[in-house]
Amino acid sequence: MNGLYAVMEKLLPFSFLQYTFMKNALLAILLITPLFGMLGTMAVDNKMAFFSDALGHSALTGVAIGVVLGMQDQMIPMLVFGVLWAVLITFVKQHSRMSADTIISVFSSASIALGLVILSRGGAFARYSSLLVGDVLSVTQQDLPILLLALIAVFICWSFLFNPLLLTSVNASLARSRGIQTKLTEYGFTILVALSVMVSIRWVGVMLINSLLILPAAASRNLARNAKMYLWIAVLIALVCGIAGLILSYYLNTSAGAAIVLLCALVYFGTLPFRRK
């Protein structure tokens, strides 16, 4: 890792890279933003803009379950509960006539309320309030391999799921006629989103996770002329805004996550005129 730090200092002559925590934060941004850039494209296409929001809220319940069980590492209960919650939302959505946004809103409200009820007992919620806004500057060397594994795993799964998901989002009936298991494909996608959200929630935050997933994809949709462009432009926007937001937050002494999301929003508004053309 020291060798990588030395290379970063030579290639990127920024004063903030003298700090190890800033190096870790930059590496985390390079790993997290492509993850959400990829997944966000299908979340937008399938009208699941609030899905990651519901999963982010469920992270509080996952932490609460870990606290009740006396577990020191909260990642495991968050991952397990997040995946189960994602599967349950998908199951209800597939077997209900209610609109997807209504179902997701119900699950989102229930999960955050349950988590707050458990964590706020005895006024202890202050210890977990950092989950709401996240802090990418708190990433450690031990966290980076986890993020790298998550990116590789999602990329491999994405290579198999992309075409079935794309066809399903365009025309589910046509996808089924081509032999695609649309329900299983949707389950696979929601599980990928759940794992990605839970792995990164500590550094992105419950309040910002949905924005990081949706805004780059929404901006890319304003510019892209085909599915391939849509995917790569979304990843590029997420990467550029992530790096620029981290640098901006350092010099302005503000929240890195909020700066990244704000830049993504500015890119979205800036690309709106191109959508008409």
CATH code for the domain of 154? 1.10.3470.10
- CB proximity list for 270: less than 8 A, separation 6 or greater: 219
By percentage, how much of the chain surpasses pLDDT 90?
10
Q: How many CB atoms lie within 10 A of CB 126?
A: 9
Question: 125-129 long-range CB contacts below 8 Å, 24 or more apart?
Answer: 128/60, 128/63
pLDDT grade for 256, boundaries at 50, 70 and 90: confident
Q: For residue 241, what are its two tokens? A: 């805004």
What's the rounded mean pLDDT across residues 66-92? 83
What's the rounded mean pLDDT across residues 28-33? 88
Give the domain range for residue 185: 2-276
Q: Is the backbone of residue 90 left (phi > 0), alpha (psi -120 to 50) or beta?
A: alpha
What's the rounded mean pLDDT across residues 137-145? 83
Phi/psi at 29 (nearest 5 deg)?
-60, -40
| Residue 137 predicted with pLDDT over 70 | yes
Amino acid at 177: S
CA distance 80 to 61: 11
CA distance 174 to 2: 52
pLDDT grade for 192, boundaries at 50, 70 and 90: confident
CA distance 139 to 107: 29
| Residue 99 predicted with pLDDT over 60 | yes
CA distance 204 to 134: 5
Sign of the C-alpha dihedral computed for residues 62, 63, 67 and 71 taken in this order: positive
Q: How many domains does the chain have?
A: 1
pTM: 0.84
Phi/psi at 74 (nearest 5 deg)?
-85, -10
CA distance 65 to 175: 39
